[in-house]
Amino acid sequence: MLSPTAILGYGFPARSFLRGMRRRPHLIGVDAGSTDPGPYYLGAGTSFTNRAAVKRDLRFMLVHGVRNGIPVVIGSAGGAGARPHVRWCREIIEEIAEEERLAFRLGIVYADVPRAVVAAALKRRAVTPLPFVPPLTAKTLAASVRIVAQMGIEPVCAALDAGCRVVLCGRCYDPAVFAAPAIRAGFDRGLALHMGKILECAAIAATPGSGADCVLGVLRRDSFVLESLNPRRRFTRASTAAHTLYEKSDPYHLPGPGGMLNLEGCTFTELPRGRVEVRGSRFEPSPAYRVKLEGVRKIGYRTISIAGVRDPVMIGAIDEVLAGVRAQVDEILSADKIAGRVDFHVYGRDGVMGAREPLRRAPAHELGIVIDAVAPTAADSEAICSLTRSTLLHHGYPGRIATAGNLAFPFSPSDAKMGAAFEFSVYHLMPVRDQRIFRREVREVGRRRGGRP
């Protein structure tokens, strides 16, 4: 199986891809999405990857896949994998097919879940939160603008059974892109899912790691082998085993639709030419088939301002300074009856980890402050950001010498309108009785009537 890149649109060297094609793979697969970029893209229905970059990657995959009779499977289309993202990616596929004169059967699997379906499960008390997530309420569900479910291997297998040579999926369990065709062919489910978990990240698990380079995975009856397709990279036992820590709170257990991937008995053996063989991965089915739901709700509009601080006196008193600015801003907002909130992200102190930062009391010699204003309307978010920025810029504090201003702005204009703001509202598990929740569609691409290209 050939994995060109960690995310569709991240790119890859053409030479690496062509080396993989010379190995005559049985599948070209790619994961196209993630929740890592946050809730905005699901809520807005837009992709976090560039259209031209996605089209470039897809052109390689489709041209070489279709012309060589190799299935192409794409998971989590457009990043968040909702219907607008799938439509966006489908249009790119159809453009390429027309430009390259390709003809194939396209299978589309949608991941969108109607609120009514989730509401019915919620009423049965069948919806459970993931760790550190509050229980889902009817009110929160009603406010959610878009909900997707993370599909497993079954819908992908069904599309392949229908003769689809290209399969485009909405939100998808990352390993399923690679595992589905292998399990459909009779290979071990645990090994297929584990290999899929690594291949969906392409060369990230190699050394030096990269999300923009190609990897070949060879699945056998009792093991799988990973091989970089770029001579500059190689898999090692350490780099491969370390990938079990990737995106997991538990390195030995990876839950997914229908069960758990158990890696307690895995072994990693280095082979010649920078390859690694993995054995011992096991799949443990769960009593109920559950899928992860992802949904977002709109919380208003966001405006930000980025500024730097270099004064050691201000840095030493930054908590008191920001508290004083917040109190002054809150007083004005309350008097003017402007709804909204403002947060400060202080980089160089705790901008990444917040209150969990162990070195919070030992800040750097300079700080970067992001003023983050969110309000029900765009105008109010802009007003709050502007008020906070100007207040912080000229806020007095003990020991202050220069009165020209407390902040250094790297950009003009200093305030950036970020548009609509969303937050995750649904991040829960829901049981499904069958796979009809994932609606499927088959299209003939690049064919005239009568089936002739």
* pLDDT band (50, 70, 90) for residue 450: very low
Question: Which 3 state secondary structure label does DSSP give 184?
Answer: helix
* Domain residue ranges of the chain, discontinuous segments joined by +: 2-111+150-289+432-445, 298-425
Using the predicted structure, report yes or no on whether residue 447 has a pLDDT greater than 70. Answer: no
If one counts every other C-beta atom within 10 angstroms of the C-beta of residue 373, the result is 28
Q: What is the pLDDT of residue 377?
A: 97
Q: Give first-to-last CA distance, the chain, whole Å.
A: 28
Q: How far apart are CA 226 and CA 198, in angstroms?
A: 9
Point out which residues pair with 305 in neighbouring strands: 371, 415
Using the predicted structure, report yes or no on whether residue 452 has a pLDDT greater than 60. Answer: no
* pLDDT band (50, 70, 90) for residue 397: very high
Using the predicted structure, report yes or no on whether residue 246 has a pLDDT greater than 90. Answer: no
Parallel, antiparallel, or unpaired for β 290-309 and 367-375? antiparallel
* Cα-based distances in Å from 302 to 30, 33, 188, 298: 33, 24, 48, 11
Report the amino acid identity of residue 308.
G
What average pLDDT does the chain have?
95
Calculate mean pLDDT across residues 243-268.
91
If one counts every other C-beta atom within 10 angstroms of the C-beta of residue 124, the result is 10
Calculate mean pLDDT across residues 378-387.
97
Q: How far apart are CA 406 and CA 312, in angstroms?
A: 11
Calculate mean pLDDT across residues 402-426.
95
The beta strand positions in 320-414, using DSSP E, are: 341-347, 367-375
Calculate mean pLDDT across residues 166-175.
97
Q: How far apart are CA 368 and CA 326, in angstroms?
A: 17
Calculate mean pLDDT across residues 1-16.
97
Q: What is the pLDDT of residue 244?
A: 83
Instruction: Return the residue matching tokens 């609509």.
Output: 420
Q: What is the pLDDT of residue 249?
A: 83
Instruction: Name the nearest CA neighbour of 424 among 167, 191, 147.
Output: 147
To which H or E segment does residue 254 belong?
A: strand 253-256
* Cα-based distances in Å from 76 to 79, 173, 188, 289, 386: 6, 8, 24, 20, 38
* Cα-based distances in Å from 38 to 47, 223, 277, 421: 12, 35, 34, 10
Q: What angle do CA 45, 290, 219 make, to 5 degrees?
A: 90
Q: How far apart are CA 101 and CA 243, in angstroms?
A: 39
Q: What percent of the chain has pLDDT over 70?
A: 98
Residue 38's Cβ-side half-sphere holds a number of Cα atoms within 13 Å equal to 7
Q: What is the pLDDT of residue 14?
A: 98
Question: Which 3 state secondary structure label does DSSP give 145?
Answer: strand
Residues 214-224 have pLDDT tens digits of 999 999 999 99
Residues 180-222 have pLDDT tens digits of 999 999 999 999 999 999 999 999 999 999 999 999 999 999 9
- Provide the CATH number for the domain formed by 298-425 in this structure: 3.30.70
Using the predicted structure, report yes or no on whether residue 433 has a pLDDT greater than 60. Answer: yes
To which H or E segment does residue 226 belong?
A: strand 224-228
**Which tokens is 250 given?**
């538990």
Radius of gyration over alpha carbons of the chain, in Å?
25
pTM: 0.93
Instruction: Name the nearest CA neighbour of 27 among 141, 187, 208.
Output: 187
* pLDDT band (50, 70, 90) for residue 449: very low
| Cβ–Cβ < 8 Å for 143, 297 | yes
Q: What is the pLDDT of residue 282?
A: 97
Using the predicted structure, report yes or no on whether residue 302 has a pLDDT greater than 90. Answer: yes
Residues 66-91 have pLDDT tens digits of 999 999 999 999 999 999 999 999 99
Q: What percent of the chain has pLDDT over 90?
A: 92
| Cβ–Cβ < 8 Å for 3, 12 | no
Using the predicted structure, report yes or no on whether residue 451 has a pLDDT greater than 70. Answer: no
